[in-house]
Amino acid sequence: MTDWHAVTTLSDLRARKKKAVEVAGTAVALFYINDVVYALADTCIHEQRQLSKGALLFGKVICPGHQWKFDPETGEAEGQDGCQPTYAVKVDDDGMVHVSTARARADA
């Protein structure tokens, strides 16, 4: 049984840079940074703001709530305790982006 879910196209994400999607009931924020697609939990671990409404700066995701800076690869918050969940991403040859909330990014 596969746990990959098609969520958007690479061309759409490339144009928008960030996008909120739902994957098997989980709110996920997608980011397109330096030609790589990242998926993090959309609900901030600090006070539940939406990371997908944040900014991208120098390769980091900036939460709109209190400007915590998250590493999109690891989910680590710079200078803070705690880690935003990250999820595995794969892009098909046809340009469809798939996310698995059952897999951490490192398992991809």
Structure tokens at 103: 């897999």
Report in angstroms how near the CB of residue 90 gets to ligand FES at its nearest. 27
Of 77, 94, 67, 3, the closest CA to residue 40 belongs to 77
Q: Do the beta carbons of residue 71 and residue 60 sit within 8 Å?
A: yes
Distance separating alpha carbons of residues 39 and 67, to the nearest angstrom: 18
Of 44, 61, 88, 97, which lies in the binding site for ligand FES, with binding defined by CB under 6 A? 44
Report in angstroms how near the CB of residue 68 gets to ligand FES at its nearest. 4
Of 10, 26, 49, 56, which lies in the binding site for ligand FES, with binding defined by CB under 6 A? 49
Stretch that binds ligand FES, among 10-18, 30-38, 40-48, 100-108 (CB under 6 A): 40-48
Beta bridge partners of 76: 83
Report in angstroms how near the CB of residue 26 gets to ligand FES at its nearest. 17
Of 94, 74, 90, the closest CA to residue 82 belongs to 74
Residue 57 binds to ligand FES (criterion: CB under 6 A): no
Residue 65 binds to ligand FES (criterion: CB under 6 A): yes
The Cβ of residue 17 has, within 10 Å, a number of other Cβ atoms equal to: 12
Binding site for ligand FES (CB under 6 A): 44, 46-47, 49, 63, 65-66, 68
